[in-house]
Amino acid sequence: MHYAHRGVRLMTAHKAKGLEFDYVYLVGAWDTHWGNKRSISSFTLPIDGPVDQDNADERRLFYVALTRARSRVSVSYGRVSQSGKDRLPSQFIEEMNDSYTEDIDESAFEERLSPEVFLQAKRDTQSLSVADSEYLKDLFIEQGLSVTALNNYLTCPWQYFYSNLVRIPKIPTKYMTLGTAVDRALKTFFVTYQNDEVTKDMLLDAYEKALEQTSLSGNAFTEMYEQGHDSLSGWFDTYQGTWCKDTLNAYKIDLSIPLSLEILPNIRVRGELDKAEVYVDGITVVDYKTGKPKSRNHIIGKTKAVGSGNYFRQLVFYRMLIDAQDKYKMKNAVLDFIQPKENGTYVREEFTITQNDVDVLLKEIEKMSTEVLNLSFWDKRCDKHQKGECEYCKLRELMQ
């Protein structure tokens, strides 16, 4: 195995669903962190009622975390909090069958990993430098390109580097979460519509369920629920009866396309179409947008605003994917804005994507690929950096 690929993967129990590992370390398994979560803002009546549903959900998630391990799982918790308060183990640990568990004497570990020893340990001189060109080249070739990655690179190479190439985790904003929930709700809605009639309540229920599966809570959840509910309600009223029944929903394409580059003869490209309406003479690609409707000039890149042209490039990218798959013919594309304009009207922008548009896109892909593989972007900074407004260029400065 290439040493660059060794390491420990850190993730939440939610993110680990469907994955398996030889060894799993489940940390922070103390009471109130796993199970018996407390809220000082409210309590449920009747007090002597059924078991708290939240605890049941947490127990199932704890089980999911345990069963990610093929060989062994280590469950641990700190006996004392940072504030000096004693902690109790999660009740889920106590509920585990003793025949499957073994208590470990941690004194040897605590001695070996005392703060004095751990913080003064010599750094591993074999660790991979973030500027290692072979590692970054392998990473780029393995991942390939999505249109989001390409758009990020064209906005700022370091936005691509941190967000897409090395993938520094970033908490999604409430608006990003809203977009994800709307996409899921519309997928459910149109899959149902293929074989059955649909109602506004079905769409709104699907949205509520999708939003409940996100990490939003409190005021943020309420705000996004109301915004999505109102937008989808008006959207349904506006377009009811106009939808195509024969659709492909959340349609994924992942393949390789040829490039005219000696350094990279072909590249992996991938994308997911929100919806494709299937007709006799081809398909109409529909991409949902949950932000405020953009002007047509902004969409096609004729303004100086940040992100100008990104939406159109996305549609061209989809045409490129569909052509390469050679299964459908894309006749046109639609940007469907789910949020209305300030006057309450809803907007759909339709485009015909030409072969010339695809050729321009391929040149952009080849230029980006060459710059990434040669690391020629390494000393570049984006326009916003000069104003001190680019968080990604600021991160790059820390690597000096």
Q: List own/partner pairs for 183-191 with CB under 8 A and 24 or more apart.
A: 183/250, 183/274, 183/288, 184/210, 184/213, 185/209, 185/210, 185/228, 185/232, 186/249, 186/274, 186/275, 186/288, 186/338, 187/249, 187/250, 187/274, 187/275, 190/243, 190/247, 190/249, 190/275, 191/249
Contact at 8 Å (CB) between 80 and 87?
yes
Work out the average pLDDT over 262-290. 98
Amino acid 128: pLDDT:
43
Amino acid 132: pLDDT:
77
Question: Is omega for the bond preceding 169 within 30 degrees of 0, making it cis?
Answer: no
Residues with Cβ within 8 Å of residue 103, at least 6 apart in sequence:
none
pLDDT top residue among 357 and 132: 357
Helical spans, DSSP H, in the chain: 53-66, 91-94, 107-112, 115-119, 133-143, 147-155, 157-160, 174-193, 200-212, 218-239, 296-299, 310-325, 355-373, 391-397
Give 320: exposed, middle or buried? Use CB within 10 Å, 0-12, 13-18, 19+: buried
3-state helix, strand, coil in the chain (%, to 5): 40, 15, 40
pLDDT top residue among 344 and 9: 344
Position 386, amino acid: Q
Cα dihedral: 262, 263, 268, 273 (round 10): -80
Residues with Cβ within 8 Å of residue 377, at least 6 apart in sequence:
157, 161, 371
Q: What is the pLDDT of residues 199-225, one digit of tens each?
A: 999 999 999 999 999 888 899 999 999
Q: Determine the angle formed by the axes of helices 147-155 and 355-373, rounding to 10 degrees.
A: 70
Contact at 8 Å (CB) between 283 and 277?
yes
- Average pLDDT of the chain to the nearest whole number: 88
pLDDT top residue among 121 and 202: 202
Confidence band of 129 (pLDDT split at 50, 70, 90): low
Q: What is the pLDDT of residues 279-326, one digit of tens each?
A: 999 999 999 999 999 999 999 999 999 899 999 999 999 999 999 999
pLDDT top residue among 44 and 132: 132
Q: How far apart are CA 315 and CA 309, in angstroms?
A: 10
pLDDT top residue among 66 and 256: 256
CA angle 4, 392, 148 (to 5 degrees): 75
Q: Domain 144-400, what fold?
A: Lambda Exonuclease; Chain A (3.90.320)
Question: Per-residue b/e over 26-56, b at no fewer than 16 CB within 10 Å?
Answer: beebbbebbbbeeeeeeeeeeeeeeeeeeee
Amino acid 111: pLDDT:
66
Residue pointed to by tokens 């096609």: 300
Task: Collapse the DSSP code of 32 into the 3-class scheme (helix H, G, I; strand E, B; otherwise coil) and give the result.
Answer: coil
Amino acid 1: pLDDT:
32
Structure tokens given for 134: 């072979």
**Can you give the residue ranges of every domain in the chain?**
3-119, 144-400
CA angle 164, 135, 147 (to 5 degrees): 25
Q: What is the pLDDT of residues 218-253, one digit of tens each?
A: 999 999 999 999 999 999 999 999 999 999 999 999
pLDDT at 125 over 50: no
Confidence band of 4 (pLDDT split at 50, 70, 90): very low
Confidence band of 117 (pLDDT split at 50, 70, 90): low
In the CATH scheme, what architecture does the domain 3-119 have?
Answer: 3-Layer(aba) Sandwich (3.40)
User: Beta strand 330-337 with 348-351: parallel, antiparallel or unpaired?
Assistant: antiparallel
Q: What is the pLDDT of residues 169-192, one digit of tens each?
A: 888 899 999 999 999 999 999 999
Q: What is the pLDDT of residues 152-162, one digit of tens each?
A: 999 999 999 99
Amino acid 97: pLDDT:
86
Amino acid 126: pLDDT:
45
Confidence band of 93 (pLDDT split at 50, 70, 90): confident
Closest listed residue to residue 349, CA positions, set 298, 274, 277 = 298
